[in-house]
Amino acid sequence: MKRGTPNAYRLGEIVARLGGDIIGDADLVVTQVAPLEHARADQVTFIASVKYRGKLQQSAAGAVIVGPSERDSTDKPRIVCTNPYAYFARVSALFNPMPIAEPGIHPSAVVDSSAIVPASASIGAFVFIGEGVELGENVVISPGCHLGDNVVLGEDSFLYPQVVIYHDCMIGSRAILHSGVVIGADGFGLAQDEGRWVKIPQIGRVVIGDDVEIGANTTVDRGAMEDTVIGDGVKLDNQIQVAHNVHIGDHSAMAGCVGIAGSARIGKHCTVGGAGMILGHLEIVDNVNISSGTLITKSIKKAGTYTSAMPFSSHPDWLKNAAHLRHLDDMAEKMRLLEQRIIELERKKS
């Protein structure tokens, strides 16, 4: 497998592919993207906020991607678009294509005779593909991956090394699963009986939509009886835990170390910051943004941004604040008694 070779593009070619307007030299050739501070004359950068205008003036970049409000903030050749950050992402994809894999099955791979493996698929060394597996066209499965029986993997999907997909799970087209991802492990289903835990067999599946990307060492547990479902376009960062029977709506995104307990329902176009925690059996509606480190203990019925994390402070200040928190109930009771006394005094005066 080889990395795609970065290409050189004229600004005019980029706009012809991606849209936007050019101000300045459309024939300027750029070879890569780069940050404002380190860009060279043959590279293109971007500015998404007015607060970076000073850095733009000092940048050696050959060209810049800007929004309409910044179209006149530099004399450099520039591409004007409505969303510079998203445009920059697409330009970066042009310069940095996905790895190129030759079709075929490595001699060390173990592929069950009943599996459907198109000629366009690339199967790496020491891959295991079980009975009844169905692969779409142009799938790339890197070395050391394991696909259990009856797994379905859609076209143009890319599995990095050491991905494990348990039996019966279904993954849509154009999925990207990074190393260490585990799809379909048993959920944490246990019943207590006379002081001992009894395992509940997890007989559901994991069903994942199209255009989903899942980061390294993230786990998505199979359903206990029904399926765990991840919608189209969902983006999960590294080291996330998605428990059994969770539903995540289309185009939601979650940062690293998020934990979602069993049977939580998360709507479409939601975001969860790093280390956010969502308790089980809760429902979160569409278009909810949960801040980093926030613990969600109740269902959220209204779109918006929710935060529960306390800002950090020096350790001595934290100790004092923690001491106050321990006595909040007593303080509330004293406040209630004071309010009653004030009301009684006002009555006597009147």
Distance CA 275, CA 239 (A): 10
247 in catalytic set:
no
CA 156 – CA 139 distance, rounded (Å): 5
Exposure of 175 by Cβ count < 10 A (0-12 exposed, 13-18 middle, 19+ buried)?
A: buried
Gap between the Cα atoms of 275 and 293, Å rounded: 5
- Classify residue 120 by its DSSP letter: T
Q: Phi then psi for 322, rounded to 5 degrees? A: -65, -40
Residue owning tokens 């992402």:
89
- Compute the distance between CA of residue 27 and CA of residue 8 in angstroms, rounded to an integer: 11
Please say whether the beta carbons of 99 and 6 come within 8 A: no
The residue from 244, 247, 281, 327 that is catalytic is 244
Q: What is the DSSP letter of 152?
A: E
Q: Could you give the CA distance from residue 348 to residue 232 in angstroms, rounded to a whole number?
A: 67
- Give CA separation, 152 vs 17, 131, 144, 160, 235, in Å: 33, 11, 18, 17, 20
Tell me which residues are annotated as active site. 244
